[in-house]
């Protein structure tokens, strides 16, 4: 357990690369058919005629990709306790089928819980970018992380 990342390992300003995810059209359509069956998510012809201009992932799928990248990028190697808030979520550009996406997380602020000194509170910004460096979506959330030595 000592090799897990703890609150002390997440200084303010730390940028954590989260890895990449390629998003094939089949994945876009399958997710949308289950969770967000709007025409521009499930039908290529309708998507071409839409304001998006092509088959695009649901914004919620973009968030799900960010979560997956975060879990694989650091959370599974950390003493993460829980999360209680998503303070902000912005879908800035469509995420198109066929894109390869890269995630990163930045520690915006941190503090020790006043009520639970064994728990650190991290305010994090999670970003999803395409290979051209265009920011597709970002999420600001709160994560609880175990303190190594309370």
| Spatial separation of the C-alpha atoms in residues 57 and 5, rounded to whole Å | 32
Residue 65: give its domain's CATH number.
3.10.129.10
Q: Assess if residue 1 is contained within a domain.
A: no
| Spatial separation of the C-alpha atoms in residues 105 and 75, rounded to whole Å | 11
Q: Assess if residue 33 is contained within a domain.
A: yes
Where in 10-67 does DSSP place strands (E)?
15-22
For the stretch 36-62, pLDDT in tens is 999 999 999 999 999 999 999 999 999
Alpha helices in the chain (DSSP H): 25-35, 39-42, 44-49, 59-73
Q: Assess if residue 113 is contained within a domain.
A: yes
Which strands make up the sheet holding 119-130, listed edge to edge?
Answer: 15-22, 100-112, 119-130, 135-146, 80-91
Number of domains in the chain: 1
Give me the domain span that covers residue 104.
7-146
Give the mean pLDDT of 107-123: 98
Q: Assess if residue 124 is contained within a domain.
A: yes
| Spatial separation of the C-alpha atoms in residues 37 and 19, rounded to whole Å | 28
| Confidence label for 150 from pLDDT (cuts 50, 70 and 90) | confident
Q: What is the pTM of this model?
A: 0.94
């Amino acid at each position: 357990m000592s090799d897990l990342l703890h609150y002390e390992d997440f200084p303010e300003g730390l940028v954590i690369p989260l890895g990449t995810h390629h998003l094939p059209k089949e994945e876009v359509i399958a997710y949308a058919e289950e969770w967000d069956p709007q025409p521009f998510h499930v039908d290529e012809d309708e998507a071409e005629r839409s304001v998006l201009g092509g088959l695009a992932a649901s914004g919620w799928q973009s968030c799900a990709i960010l979560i997956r990248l975060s879990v694989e990028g650091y959370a599974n190697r950390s003493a993460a306790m829980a999360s209680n808030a998503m303070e902000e979520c912005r879908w800035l550009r469509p995420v198109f089928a066929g894109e390869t996406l890269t995630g990163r997380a930045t520690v915006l602020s941190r503090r020790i819980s006043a009520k639970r000194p064994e728990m650190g509170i991290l305010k994090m910004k999670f970003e999803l970018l395409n290979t051209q460096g265009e920011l597709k979506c970002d999420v600001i959330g709160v994560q609880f992380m175990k303190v190594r030595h309370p």
